[in-house]
A and B are shown apart, each in its own frame.
Chain A
Amino acid sequence: MSSDPFERPRAANGRAPDVFKTGGWIPMRQHRDVDEVDFAIVGTGAGGGTLAARLAEKGFSVVAFDAGPYFRPLEDFASDETAQEKLYWNDPRVVQGADPIVMGGKNSGKTVGGSMVHFAMVSLRFRPEWFKARSTLGYGADWPIGWEEMWRYYDQVERDLSISGPITYPWGPPRPRYPYRPHPMNAAAEVLARGCEAMGMKWTPTPLATVSAPRGEAHPCVYRGFCRFGCSTNAKQSTLNTYIPRAIRAGAEIRDLAMVGRIETDAGDRATGVHYHRDGQWRFQKARNVIVAGYAVESPRLLLNSATDRHRDGLANSSGLVGKNLMTQPNQAVYGKSKDEIRWNKGPPSLAITEHWNYDDEKDFHGGYCWMGQGPLPIEWAKTMTTSRGIWGDELRLAMQDYNYQVGVKMVGECLPSENNRVELADQKDRYGLPVAKITFGWSENDKALIRHALDQMEMSMEAAGVTDLFRQEEDANHLGGTVKMGDDRRSSVLDADCRSWDVPNLFVCDGSVFPTVGGVNPSLTIQAIALRTADRIEQLAAHGDL
């Protein structure tokens, strides 16, 4: 019998859960709080989990903390939308602004492995120009990293996750063949493809982080479509079943149910460790370096909550930009009815994609977007119907009977950075007694123009594919970024190209918050590529005595 993953930490007593076996364990090296470890990492998601593996593999001692539990997908994940809400960061947050962001399942996870445990697995590379959006495309900001270097790290993360993708990808500079073959397309993906073909646009099977053939102990995908509620077969290549087991094998320690409340700094400008809450008490882990990887809301919150007399506006915040420039990607959709049965919940939701509008600059707004197939499960679909069409009761019940005939496409778009959109501290406290995040957001005029354009194009494509009874889901947003941005200049950024704080030299932030611009594709592959690069850079810095 296995314990309840929420009741008490599972990663303890020299072992951690084996994610590939019901009730299984793997040995794990552990450190004492008084041991000064090389790296304390806050968060084990796309950024933190990847770094934990690479740094441990490079021989550093690593302790990685996550506020969430340590799941074994085979035994802990139910095929039940409601039960699986246990994966989300549902702790209180204050949202406000012209377009308040709905927090929770859509954008934040709270488990070992982070949001990738319930992400939709769409694994895309940035368009090269986006790394220099300001100088080549005239909007947003430049990244301090060039695309050629990123391309190499994309190669690496695609291999590490065995991305299943098309034989040739239609857009951007050449890339190596995806490690695994593409998945079969479901009927929803075929509708997307037909719409694109009718409009003369290219489309492709989506590169996905779920395996189309066995990989080690991971079973291949069974196309049951529970991806965004936790994949119970381990087909999904999330941090939880890729980098985390690698990290532990290489000697890293993972601490689950361990909420970091504050980063401690000495009288100078160096971090000395982290205060964390685990097993009912506050503790302090000593560390030579601290890496924050809690995603675009929790990372700035932790920095702000770690203010000292010397760092009154929050740690690493001499630029005043910690928490600013919050971006969320527009995630609007067009839905309708097909005359043929679709059964869109069968398979990963986004089996086909078009990036056409990311590579077309003949538009009267900045930024790009892509759109992809959809497969909302019934509860999510019912919610979409009530919010977008305003139908309830009997009308909703009748409309739900068309579930197997519904089809649609959803965009992931670029939101431009604005200092008005931000994460601050609220007066309210959470269960640990820590001030919660206050999130202010509103779409800019450019964002609205991009969304309108996308909705029009998506609607045309659905019409062209013969879909009827169309309606728009106008209010939705997903991936976050921008709140701890990297850059070339300490006055206009919080971190340098190595994700290292300009102010506190042994403090790094490495997750979705470091993006100066979010581009028009899903972010996690880019987050992980940055994490791989950061690990390499840390190794080089250490070799030169610069850590």
Chain B
Amino acid sequence: MRTFFNFFRDAYHNIKRNTLMSTASIASVVAALIIMGIILILAINVNYVVKQVEESLEMKIYLSDNIADERVSEIGEFIKATPHVATVEYLSKEKALEEFASWFGENEDKLLQGYAQNGNPLPRSYVVKVDDAAYLENIYDTVMAQEGVTDVVYGKEYVDVLLRFNRAINMVSFVIVVILSLVSLFTIYNTIKLTIYARRDDVEIMKYVGASNAYIQMPFIIEGSVLGLIGAGAAILLIRGAYTMILGMMQVNAALPLSTTLAPFGMVIYQIAIYFLIYGFVIGAAGSLISVSKFLRTSR
């Protein structure tokens, strides 16, 4: 217990002694986390919008007038059994006409009368919603191949753009996060390298009195983790301040549609805080572990 306390005391002294590099380490973690926080919040909101759009996407499957009612329900069963189909709704000729007519407002009755005399030209159809827009094309192919299906319609170009946009955002965020993590890792790695260099006699003595590698590594790993955690703490405070400001501005412009898609303040901060602390800890511990392991390997 005493030795564990000593580890923290030593870490504190080292961070103080090594002000420049320690500050650089903390700053790199803060910078990485703030950019990551912005990306995270953006990504959460983009994903949210995409999900909403996906949910409202409809696919219309038009049926031939020349098939029997049994075939119509067969096709309905087939569509229901297709993977990623969420809901299926049948639209009869009469219903289709009503819907169509409703677009014409005051002329509705006249239109309905006209069609009632000349025969209803609108086909029967199924209206399908999917749980994932990425599968629309597959569903299109399988359903189109069914006998009795004359046409399948969905906003293909729109969906493609949306999917590509979503994929691009995720890809770019991922790359930026990886790059920033490497930068933080490298900065902490170098800070701990300096610490080890300053304390190489301690390490050598520990080695010669037969200390285990874990024991030798512990103080450096604690120091690295503390640096990472301090960086995470600072980033959380900064992000919290910024988010409060943005929310404040949104209340002024209450009409902004975006505000409805923003997750509640408490939840976002709580989640980000946990992610950040874990991230800071892992980056700090990993950076110093790599550093001290390398030192032990090359000095033995």
Say whether A and B bind each other: no
List residues of chain A with CB under 8 Å of any chain B CB. Answer: none
